[in-house]
Structure 1
Amino acid sequence: MKTVADALTCAVRMDSVRKTYGEGATAVHALDGVSVELRRGTFTAVMGPSGSGKSTFLHCAAGLDRPTSGRVILGETDLTGLSETKLTELRRERIGFVFQAYNLLDSLTVEQNIVLPLRLAQRPSDPRFLAEVVRSIDLHVPMNRRPSALSGGQRQRVAIARALVTRPDVMFLDEPTGALDSRTARQVLDALRHAVDLWGQTSLMVTHDPFAASYADSVLFLADGRIVDQLPRSAPERIAERMAQLGER
């Protein structure tokens, strides 16, 4: 039985989560009984071959998609029975998202993009914390500039700042460096790692890149909708070797 202490130290828990698309002979089991705990203040990477269930894993863990069966628990909140309205509120107030495509609004300035989640939640913006977030991820651009005038790496750092400014319980990242060159990707990953080390920001990142995964405290490997292996923080070469072994399955 889970204790109060477990709830306080566990940011996200998935209990026997299954996600099935379709029915009968054409059914696809994207997740097949996944059980895992993500501890608070840790950075976890999720890797696996194409079609292994990585995106479904992230979507279910973040409350973007409902499991067919099983439970997803954010802190002490069981997401299973929440209405769509409650899930929307929870995602807005307790979860941060960073995607490969940035999803910034060019009609807004950099600062307006960053604080947009706070405005939507009708929460005040703390100028001192905003400045601290911007400084911590090395976002050295004028706050009144539009995203279209920024480089890809700068835009992704704006997206990270937007995710961090709400002080989320968990930050979910879907291929955050997928559209960046290697030098810019390293800068973005440094920023993500710094957020974990500085604020204890719990983060879950789906990636295909062993170099990106090497920044995480642990790497989960998915295959056929199941967790088949886990590595503690490792060099890119070790992670790539394990991925190659999965490809030989």
Structure 2
Amino acid sequence: MNTTNTALALESVRKVYGSGDGAVTALDGVTVTLRRASFTAVMGPSGSGKSTFLHCAAGLDKPTSGRVLLGGTDLTGLRETALTGLRRDRIGFVFQAYNLLPSLTVRQNITLPARLAGRQLDPRWLREIVERVGIADRLDHRPSELSGGQQQRVAIARALVGKPEVLLADEPTGALDTRTGRQVLDLLRGVVDTLGQTVLMVTHDPVAASAAHSVLFLADGKLAGELVRPTPERVAERMTHLGEW
């Protein structure tokens, strides 16, 4: 496989939890390739394997069979210490719940992963990121002094400041109102289109999914299609066929 333009790839990934009669197949032979500088959403009915897909892509879960490649690195053969370092240095994470430390300032929250890794951050890059996400005037505030949308912007800045190869977002607008959620989605699309960031986002919201370049659909642990240049209406229609609504 040509890895020069590939940010992340899952090759025939199968994930089974448990054994014997109690075995549950969460992913069943999923093959996906994400190009660099692409924004991909993942959708599917409850229990379709979305969380397992994200966990395998992040190296948090090891596939039962198949391979996960980050750039040219095969995650499936790595020991846990190597995986921990890889997640810290090469993958950014954004969650529904922000996961900010309340006792730290915005600046300290953003720079914490680099400090823990003993890495120096380029101050110009830090300034560019905080300006891009719209929190340059909030760096000395604590999370409790920010709105939900501002806290999520801090979380995105924290994920981006390490220049990850892939940013993984799990329901990043799930706790936000519609208008704020739209702003966060526009921000994610913007860092893809202008910075060349690669984003993989799990969501249940057709409007959120429509911010992506393409949407992957999962059903019963299998890939059930892809929608390029999605609109909320087309995403909702496809989900209806998968039995979600």
Question: Is TM more than 0.5 here?
Answer: yes
- The alpha-carbon distance between structure 1 residues 151 and 248, as it changes in their structure 2 partners (threshold 3 A), is closer
Residues 84-109 of structure 1: CA deviation (Å, up to 9, x unaligned): 00000000000000000100001110
* 1:155 and 2:151 matched: yes
Shift of residue 139, structure 1, vs aligned partner: 2.1
Q: Which one-letter code corresponds to 2:53 in the other structure?
A: F
Moved over 6 A (4+): none
Q: Secondary structure at the match of 2:4?
A: helix
Q: Which one-letter code corresponds to 1:142 in the other structure?
A: R
* Contact 1:138 1:191 (8 Å CA) reproduced: no
* Contact 2:106 2:141 (8 Å CA) reproduced: yes
Equivalence map 1:27-106=2 (5 Å): 27-106=23-102
* Contact 2:44 2:244 (8 Å CA) reproduced: no
Gaps spanning 5+ residues in structure 1: where? none
Residues 11-66 of structure 1: CA deviation (Å, up to 9, x unaligned): 11111101111111211100001011011110000000000000000000011111
d(CA) in 1 for partners of 2:193, 2:227: 19
Shift of residue 142, structure 1, vs aligned partner: 2.1
* Contact 2:127 2:136 (8 Å CA) reproduced: no
Number of aligned residue pairs: 245
Residues 197-221 of structure 1: CA deviation (Å, up to 9, x unaligned): 1111000000000000001011000
- The alpha-carbon distance between structure 1 residues 98 and 248, as it changes in their structure 2 partners (threshold 3 A), is closer
* Contact 2:38 2:192 (8 Å CA) reproduced: yes
Give the match for residue 245 of structure 1.
Answer: 241
Within the candidate set 115, 118, 125, 2:114 is matched to 118
User: Could you state the TM-score of these two structures normalised by the residue count of structure 2?
Assistant: 0.98
Give the match for residue 138 of structure 2.
Answer: 142
d(CA) in 2 for partners of 1:10, 1:120: 29
d(CA) in 2 for partners of 1:192, 1:55: 20
Q: Secondary structure at the match of 2:197?
A: coil
Q: Which one-letter code corresponds to 2:90 in the other structure?
A: R
Q: Secondary structure at the match of 2:217?
A: strand
Shift of residue 125, structure 1, vs aligned partner: 1.4
d(CA) in 2 for partners of 1:121, 1:227: 36
Give the match for residue 4 of structure 2.
Answer: 8
What's the RMSD between the two structures over aligned residues? 1.1
d(CA) in 1 for partners of 2:120, 2:100: 20
Instruction: Identify which range, 22-31 or 89-98, moves more after superposition.
Output: 22-31
% identity of equivalent residues: 68
